Amino acid sequence: MSCPTCLPIIFTKNPTPTPEEKRNLILNNPGFGKVFTDHMLMLHYNKEKNWHNATINAYGPIALDPGVCVFHYGQEIFEGLKAYKTKDGRTLLFRPEANAKRFANSAKRMAMQPLPESLFLQAIYEFIKVEEPWIPDPSVGSLYLRPFMIANSAYLGVKPSTDYLFMIIACPVGSYFSKGADAVTVWISEFYTRAASGGTGEAKCGGNYAASLIAQQQATANNCDQLVFLDAAEHKWIEEMGGMNIFFVFDDGTLLTPPLNGTILPGITRDCIITIAKDKGLAVRQERYSANQWIKDIKSNHIKEVFACGTAAVVTPIGYVKNQQGNYTINKGQVGTITQEMRETLI
Ligand SMILES: *Cc1c(COP(=O)(O)O)cnc(C)c1O
């Protein structure tokens, strides 16, 4: 492959890696996001040297100037993708080119230096080669890769940073929700919103998550696992479930998901589900859908299944809905057939 943007990535093996026995114990029951692998990748940018100084070193704390922009004004973006082992022992990544492209788009929205897509991919490929032993058996889970980039110039002026640090870290993961593939209970967030028109809803930036945590606290206080965000203008139209896109399955067999209008994160899993549904001959409508209509459709049994989707949890059934007014149950809290089919096809 010709790769004009590729760089030499200097690999220094972790001198004290996790002992194999301990690693195997972790890989048998990894949880989600609790254990990091033995290495991390770092790559720097500045105007003079362009992208430079690419390394894979032992995982550990890094030193940063307390003045760097990321700590003050939050210029940060990230990605999430998974590497899987096949039954015959090969390593597969799930659509990494789509992550590379979205990462560049997120960078542009946050006025950060976009990482060339081919360099993002080179970094992912070389990193995964080093951390292959950390990919769990396919019956257990996968290796979750977390590429991210921070503004790394030290000054307190409100302007885009001129220096950036790109990194990749990774965690072996089992299922994202502690309940596995059971249906979750969601709280409809009628006050707090995630993203407004003209804002950063489309960019995968940490700030979107920071702003959403209080709404998640409210959902937890109402005994819900997750929350559903409504639009910021009218507090009426359904947007996403936490950090996942959302799909509704109706009694006529059609699927509906909110359209990508600038406030919704363009999920790669969302895109796959639309494609798979169409392949299976199911109609997919990308249309606005109000929370009020949702409740009505649950009561009248027009809604058969609802699920959320994203890289971390793949497909999560939504079985119970709560808002200020009451509680509603979808499909008796059971996992629906289309939800199940989508999950299995994707995996
Ligand atoms: C990452 C993310 C998703 C899911 O995107 P995938 O590419 O499917 O993992 C959905 N919503 C938000 C807010 C996200 O950050």
pLDDT one-digit tens code per residue, 49-77: 999 999 999 999 999 999 999 999 999 99
How distant, in Å, are the alpha carbons of 63, 103, 112 from that of 156?
18, 25, 16
Report whether residue 145 contacts ligand 1, using a CB cutoff of 6 Å. Answer: no
Give the three-state DSSP class for 35.
coil
For residues 124 and 211, state if they share a domain: no
The pLDDT, as a whole number, for residue 178 is 53
For residues 21 and 132, state if they share a domain: yes
Q: Which of 118, 146, 173 represents a domain boundary (last residue)?
A: 173
- Which protein residue's CA is at the shortest distance from atom 14 of ligand 1? 243
CA of 183 to the centre of ligand 1 (A): 19
The pLDDT, as a whole number, for residue 180 is 55
- Asked whether 313 and 339 are in contact (CB, 8 A), the reply is no
Report whether residue 269 contacts ligand 1, using a CB cutoff of 6 Å. Answer: yes
The pLDDT, as a whole number, for residue 177 is 55
Residues 235-251, mean pLDDT to the nearest whole number: 97
- Count how many domains the chain has: 2
Residue 22 in this model has a pLDDT that exceeds 80: yes
H or E element in which residue 345 lies: helix 337-346
CA of 186 to the centre of ligand 1 (A): 17
pLDDT digits (tens, 9 = 90+) for 178-212: 555 689 999 999 999 999 999 999 999 999 999 99
For residues 206 and 296, state if they share a domain: yes
Report whether residue 268 contacts ligand 1, using a CB cutoff of 6 Å. Answer: yes
Query: Is 179 a domain residue?
Result: no
The pLDDT, as a whole number, for residue 3 is 75
- Which protein residue's CA is at the shortest distance from atom 13 of ligand 1? 243
Neighbours of 295 (CB within 10 A): 17
CA of 148 to the centre of ligand 1 (A): 14
CA of 265 to the centre of ligand 1 (A): 6
Residue 256 in this model has a pLDDT that exceeds 80: yes
Give the three-state DSSP class for 145.
strand
Confidence of residue 5 (pLDDT cuts 50, 70, 90): confident
pLDDT digits (tens, 9 = 90+) for 122-179: 999 999 999 999 999 998 999 999 999 999 999 998 999 999 999 999 999 986 655 5
Q: Which atom of ligand 1 is nearest to the CA of 312?
A: 9
Neighbours of 44 (CB within 10 A): 17
Any idea what the CATH number is for the domain that residue 313 is in?
A: 3.20.10.10
Read off the tokens for 82. 């998974």
For residues 167 and 194, state if they share a domain: no
Report whether residue 30 contacts ligand 1, using a CB cutoff of 6 Å. Answer: no
For residues 167 and 200, state if they share a domain: no
Does the predicted model carry a pTM greater than 0.85? Answer: yes
- Asked whether 311 and 347 are in contact (CB, 8 A), the reply is no
Neighbours of 217 (CB within 10 A): 12
Report whether residue 267 contacts ligand 1, using a CB cutoff of 6 Å. Answer: yes
Residues 333-343, mean pLDDT to the nearest whole number: 94
Q: How far apart are CA 333 and CA 301, in angstroms?
A: 13
Q: How far apart are CA 268 and CA 17, in angstroms?
A: 33
The pLDDT, as a whole number, for residue 158 is 93
